[in-house]
Structures are given as structure tokens and as C-alpha cells.
């Protein structure tokens, strides 16, 4: 049974691996087309992950590589990893962008090892979506709500008041059912 579990996990992890051919510029344009253009233009900075692969059977994981920008200029590279546990099954690939409202949020993210908590959320965008939906932290791809008192509006853009960040995702493929606990961890490397 243990061998079957490990084999199935390895298969889902392989299926969910990010495609190396994905391009940061293409991901930014996809987010712009999905309604996040104002965030891209007005944020202090942002991190772009063109492809994050995620898979799991009870225990799961996710991994992706990205680039960090300030004022439209590339300033660093970042890696995201996530270990989750709980009710989950499947594999998925998605793109993710994390927007920094101000220099404090950017400094927090780039300080070394940054982590979003298990309660952090992201707005899941599709081709016709609008980015005016409330967003918190990052991690699970479920939308925040306007009733959440931890959110603030900065120039008609919703950022998490604790972190000063907003996170959006776009599903690229796969199917995953989950009710999991676990946060995303980021490592930053300056250029």
C-alpha cells in the first residue's frame, strides 16, 4: 500500500510539473488580459510565476520559479514551494502573480524566506474576470470576500492589510480536489 501511495504521488507530481517553455512576459500579458492590468501598472512591484505545478494524494506539494519586478524592471528571482496535507487528490498547473502595494510589502517578501499562512487566499482569474475582487495573501485559489475586515482598498485596488500584498492565479490545466492546510514558502534571490 505504501509503495502504491508513493508511486501515485510521484505520478501526480510529475504531471503537475511546470512547463519550462513558459515565459514571464506571456504570463504578465495573460494576467493583464484577465483584468489585472491596473495592478500591474500601479503596484510598487510584483512577483510572476508563469507555471506552478501542484499535485497530491492526501499529502501534496507545489513548486514554481518566478521573477520579481519593481517599477517594471527585473530585480530578482524567486522560488515557491508548498507542502500540504489533508483531503486532496489530483494535479494542477497554474500561473500566479503577487503584487506589492508598497516598499514595506516588497521588503517583507524579499527579506529571505517569506511564507503565506494557511488562511491566505488568492483571487482566481479567468479570461473574462475582473481584478476588482478582494484578494488576500496567497496560497489557496479561493476568492476573498468584501466582508473580510482585514482587507483595505488602496486606489480602488484590494490588498491584504497585514501583508500589503494581493495575489491572483490563473488555472492552466489539471484537476485537483482539496481541503488542505499549508502555506506557500518563497525564497528570493536578488540579481
Question: Residue 19 belongs to what domain range?
Answer: 2-190
- At 90-119, the pLDDT tens digits run 999 999 999 999 999 999 999 988 988 766
pLDDT of the residue at 157: 60
Answer for the pair 104, 164: CB distance below 8 angstroms, yes or no. Answer: yes
* Cβ atoms within 10 Å of 18's Cβ, excluding its own: 21
* Cβ atoms within 10 Å of 46's Cβ, excluding its own: 26
Farthest CA pair distance, the chain: 54
Q: Which of 51-60, 102-111, 153-162 has the highest mean pLDDT?
A: 102-111
Tell me how many domains the chain contains: 1
Amino acid at each position: 500500500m505504501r509503495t502504491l501511495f508513493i508511486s501515485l504521488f510521484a505520478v501526480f507530481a510529475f504531471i503537475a510539473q511546470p512547463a519550462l517553455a513558459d515565459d514571464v512576459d506571456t504570463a504578465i500579458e495573460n494576467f493583464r488580459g484577465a483584468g489585472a492590468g491596473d495592478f500591474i501598472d500601479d503596484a510598487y512591484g510584483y512577483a510572476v510565476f508563469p507555471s506552478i505545478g501542484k499535485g497530491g494524494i492526501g499529502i501534496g506539494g507545489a513548486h514554481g520559479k518566478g521573477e520579481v519586478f519593481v517599477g517594471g524592471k527585473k530585480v530578482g528571482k524567486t522560488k515557491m514551494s508548498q507542502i500540504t496535507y489533508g483531503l486532496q487528490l489530483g494535479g494542477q498547473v497554474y500561473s500566479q502573480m503577487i503584487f506589492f502595494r508598497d516598499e514595506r510589502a516588497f521588503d517583507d517578501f524579499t527579506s529571505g524566506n517569506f511564507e503565506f499562512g494557511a488562511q491566505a487566499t488568492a483571487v482566481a482569474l479567468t479570461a473574462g474576470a475582473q481584478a476588482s475582487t478582494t484578494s488576500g495573501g496567497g496560497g489557496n485559489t479561493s476568492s476573498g470576500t468584501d466582508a473580510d475586515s482585514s482587507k483595505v482598498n488602496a486606489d480602488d485596488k484590494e490588498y491584504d492589510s497585514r501583508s500589503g500584498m494581493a495575489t491572483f492565479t490563473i488555472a492552466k490545466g489539471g484537476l485537483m480536489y482539496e481541503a488542505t492546510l499549508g502555506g506557500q514558502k518563497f525564497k528570493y534571490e536578488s540579481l
